[in-house]
Amino acid sequence: MTEHEARYPVPEHASARAWVDEETYRSRYAQSVEDADAFWLEEARSRLTWFTAPEIGSESRYTPSDVQVRWFADGELNACYNCIDRHLEDKADKVAIYWEGDNPDDHLSLTFAELHEKVCRFANGLKSLGVGKGDTVTLYMPMIPEALMGMLACARIGAIHSVVFGGFSPDALAGRIVDSGSRVVITADESLRGGKNIPLKENVDEALTRPGTEVVEHVLVVRRTGGSVAVNPRDCWYHDVVDPQSSECPPEPMNAEDPLFILYTSGSTGTPKGLLHTTGGYLLYAAMTHRDIFDVHDDDVYWCAADVGWITGHSYIVYGPMANGATSVIFEGVPSYPSHGRIGEVIDKYGVTILYTSPTAVRSLMAQGDDIMASSTRESLRVLGSVGEPINPEAWNWFYRVIGNSRCPIMDTWWQTETGGIMITPLPGATELKPGSATRPFFGIQPALYDNEGQELSGEAEGNLVIKASWPGQARTIWQNHDRFVQTYFSTFDNVYFTGDGCRRDEDGYFWITGRIDDVLNVSGHRMGTAEIESSLVAHEAVAEAAVVGFPHEVKGQGIYIYVTLNEGIQPTDELRAELVKWVRKDIGPIATPDVIQWAPGLPKTRSGKIMRRILRKIAADELDGLGDTSTLADPGVVDDLIEHRQSK
């Protein structure tokens, strides 16, 4: 048997105490789609604590003229209360967070009682800056407890948080501040990753020179490194504002459909979209998927190695684990610092039982060889998780064998910013695994494959992945742009949510995600619109036109390959190439760093002027046999030139 055909049955240690075994999965899944409202109302009432329990289930509909996603609309609750206060009765002294700094000597722990006190002060501090229910607050933070506390403090008073990943550039940050209309920005002096200081506050200062950012009245700054920062009239220190506050702050009762947060993500066109998630359905879905998919019990130590700037951080660092009263490790640093053994050492240090990470992290460690794990035993581990991109069987096997000591099942979880929580996934106590497959749908999720004409495909098939029927964690809209929400997700196919992913279903009904089918790249698990990178490049004075495509990359999954047409009279030099790389990094952020730039005197276009990306993708991937029909091109000759001058990677 090759490793691609390997199957891994449920290990006995996983089935012994799992929340969900195979029989439960089958019967509960059937109930969840046959009587969805009853199923979800029961889950909502039993897993969350409500001020007013809901009687209404879903009021969602996807008719082309009327797209609405609504759940539990008569329920009232507070997300922060569910994540902290309700645990105080029996878990006040349980550790909520083990924080591990970038430097291994830098660490602290916080119990639920301590967290409660700090979040209440933080919430009162925000109130003192004029933040109230329905206001938006932007967070641009390192991975420190104050990032989570800031999110929970917003939730406590009914403010809507918009977290912007700390690796984004000042321009990217400015765009998100303006779109969300935040009057308050929370940041830190600097963040610290891999021993390097990143000037977050300086980036905020630069962002706030951009047009439209005058709406910002206060910048609340946490002192992380003590690095020097400019102090402007709108700035205030976290310790000055928050420390003197009262440690009592009643949680604001929120309707289940009141907004909880906005999170920006890239699409195939235009600027990033602010996906809006609301309170009740999102929290239920995050809590339920977290407990059932990672099989979290009271004595577990759970570690999700993502950043709070992404949806994975929102659902599986903050809301899911905290709603479940779990003990989590929060990591500020990177897997390669001070050495490549760090992940294993952190696992041993805290006795981590569940590790949730990305294929990119696994591949970057795999490239260092098995020996890097010699500094740890990792014997506490029992469940592993993967997210963000397809995990190739080689990386799956290395993760399983080396990190997990061939003992821990891997949950390959497929989902998106838009879905709020995990959608297609194995369950530790129920699912036989096949490396590379996200396997089967979670409760209530009805995936289907459609061909390009909108016909549903049955049995073994490959096509466009859509989801029939709504689920509680689904994004409700795009902030201030419901038309774009409808257009992006509900106009390609009638009456279903379109994911933008391609997918294959095998003979056992297992799903294998094949990747994005639109012009969205997935670089190291980070989503990036080709249009964003292209518009950054054409803003450079030397560039006439640019086309961006992905190519297969050993560690990052996809790399960024750019074809650039220069303006008349501009010389294509190595210096210019380096300058353009720097330009994109500065404009969008280091995650968008181009891997390859090829000078293209012309781009392959149809007679109507549309760039044929299919051809550009093939050339970038060195797949020259499969170029297909080029006769419809306005000038087929440009293809030969591009092939001849393609760049090595």
Q: Which residue numbers belong to the known binding site for CoA? A: 193-196, 312, 524, 585
- Phi first, then psi: give them for residue 119, nearest 5 degrees: -70, -35
Q: Is 438 in the site for ligand PRX (CB under 6 A)?
A: yes
The Cα 542–Cα 558 span in angstroms is 27
Give the number of other CB atoms < 10 A from CB of residue 440.
19
Is 388 a residue that touches ligand PRX (CB under 6 A)? yes
Q: Does 516 participate in binding ligand PRX (rule CB under 6 A)?
A: yes
> Rounded to whole angstroms, how far apart are CA atoms 260 and 251?
13
470 is an interface residue for ligand PRX by CB under 6 A: no
- Tokens 């003990």 belong to 327
| CA atoms of 212 and 527, how far apart (whole Å) | 26
Token digits of residue 170: 């000042």
Count of positions on this chain that bind ligand PRX (CB under 6 A): 22
State the pairing for strand pair 259-265/273-278: antiparallel
DSSP 400: I
Shortest Å, Cβ 183 to ligand PRX: 27
Please state, in angstroms and rounded to a whole number, the distance separating the CA atoms of residues 65 and 48: 33
265 binds ligand PRX (CB under 6 A): yes
Whole-number Å distance between alpha carbons of 602 and 608: 15
Taking the complex as a whole, how short is the minimal distance between the CB of residue 500 and ligand PRX, in angstroms? 6
58 lies in the binding site for ligand PRX (CB under 6 A) = no
Rg (alpha carbons) of the chain, rounded to whole number: 24
In whole angstroms, how close is the CB of 263 to ligand PRX at the nearest point? 9
Among 500, 589, 594, 604, binds ligand PRX (CB under 6 A): 500
Q: Which of 442, 503, 51 is nearest to 280 (CA)?
A: 51
* Smallest separation (angstroms) from ligand PRX to the CB of 54: 26
417 in contact with ligand PRX (CB under 6 A):
yes
Binding test (CB under 6 A) with ligand PRX, winner from 387, 433, 466, 639 = 387
* Beta carbon nearer to ligand PRX, 268 or 630: 268
Residue range at the interface with ligand PRX (CB under 6 A); choices 123-131, 178-186, 253-261, 386-394: 386-394
HSE, side-chain direction, 13 A CA sphere, residue 141: 29
Kindly list the distances between the CA atom of residue 74 and the CA atoms of 41, 49, 68, 77, 250, in Å, as whole numbers in the listed order. 12, 14, 16, 10, 21
Residue whose beta carbon is closest to ligand PRX: 417
Binding to ligand PRX, residues 537-566 (CB under 6 A):
none
Q: Which is nearer to ligand PRX, 268 or 481 (CB)?
A: 268
Position of tokens 């890097």? 372
Looking at 121, 527, 605, 613, which residue binds ligand PRX (CB under 6 A)? Answer: 527
Helix (H) or strand (E) run with residue 155 in it: helix 145-157
- Out of 62, 282, 400, 415, the only residue in the binding site for ligand PRX (CB under 6 A) is 415
* Residue at 246: amino acid letter: S
Minimum Å gap between C-beta 349 and ligand PRX is 26
Residues in the chain: 649
Residue ranges for the binding site? 193-196, 312, 388-390, 412-417, 501, 516, 524, 527, 538, 540, 543, 585
Tokens representing residue 95 in the block: 């550790």
Q: Closer to ligand PRX at the Cβ: 311 or 562?
A: 311
In the complex, least distance from residue 502 CB atom to ligand PRX, rounded to whole angstroms: 9
Could you tell me which stretch among 163-171, 371-379, 494-502, 633-641 binds ligand PRX (CB under 6 A)?
Answer: 494-502
Q: Is residue 522 near ligand PRX by the rule CB under 6 A?
A: yes
Binding segment for ligand PRX (CB under 6 A), chosen from 16-24, 323-331, 388-396, 469-477, is: 388-396
Shortest separation between residue 157's beta carbon and ligand PRX, angstroms: 27
- CA dihedral in degrees (155, 159, 160, 166; nearest 10)? -80
Q: Is 413 in the site for ligand PRX (CB under 6 A)?
A: yes
| List of residues 6+ apart from 35 with CB closer than 8 A | none
Nearer to ligand PRX, 265 or 289 (CB): 265
CA 354 – CA 300 distance, rounded (Å) = 7
Structure token digits, residue 386: 């993967």
Q: Specify the stretch interacting with ligand PRX by CB under 6 A; choose among 200-208, 414-422, 532-540, 594-602.
A: 414-422
Annotated binding site for ATP: 388-390, 412-417, 501, 516, 527
The CB-of-310 to ligand PRX minimum distance in angstroms stands at: 6
- State the nearest-atom distance from the C-beta of 519 to ligand PRX, in Å: 12
Q: Shortest distance, CB of residue 422 to ligand PRX, whole angstroms?
A: 8
75-78-82-87 Cα dihedral, nearest 10 degrees = -120
Residues 166, 259, 341, 390: which binds ligand PRX (CB under 6 A)? 390
Choose which of 100, 300, 389, 519 interacts with ligand PRX (CB under 6 A).
389
CA pair distance 633, 608, nearest whole angstrom: 9
Across 102-195, where does the E strand assignment appear? 107-111, 136-140, 160-163, 184-188, 191-193
Q: Measured from the CB of residue 514, what is the shortest distance to ligand PRX in angstroms?
A: 8
The nearest distance, CB 495 to ligand PRX, in angstroms, is 20
Any contact of residue 437 with ligand PRX (CB under 6 A)?
Answer: no
Q: Kind and range of the H or E element at 438?
A: none
416 binds ligand PRX (CB under 6 A): yes
Contact status: 414 vs ligand PRX (CB under 6 A):
yes
DSSP annotation of 391 reads: P
Query: Least separation, in Å, of the C-beta of 169 and ligand PRX?
Result: 18
307 near ligand PRX, rule: CB under 6 A: no
Q: Interface with ligand PRX includes 513 (CB under 6 A)?
A: yes
Written as six digits, the tokens of 114 are 């301590």
Nearer to ligand PRX, 188 or 465 (CB): 465
Binding residues for Mg(2+): 538, 540, 543
Long-range contacts of 378-381 (CB under 8 A, 24+ apart): 378/344, 378/347, 378/348, 378/403, 378/404, 378/405, 379/405, 380/301, 380/347, 380/348, 380/351, 380/352, 380/353, 381/347, 381/352, 381/353, 381/354, 381/355, 381/405, 381/407, 381/408
Give the range of 410-418, 537-545, 588-596, 621-629 binding ligand PRX by CB under 6 A: 410-418
Q: Does 277 bind ligand PRX (CB under 6 A)?
A: no
Residues 6+ apart with CB under 8 A from 617: 549, 550, 551
Is 312 among the residues that bind ligand PRX (CB under 6 A)? yes
Q: Is 412 in the site for ligand PRX (CB under 6 A)?
A: yes
Q: Output the smallest distance, CB 312 to ligand PRX, in A.
A: 5
Q: Where do contacts with ligand PRX occur on this chain (CB under 6 A)? A: 265, 311-312, 387-390, 412-417, 438, 499-501, 513, 515-516, 522, 527
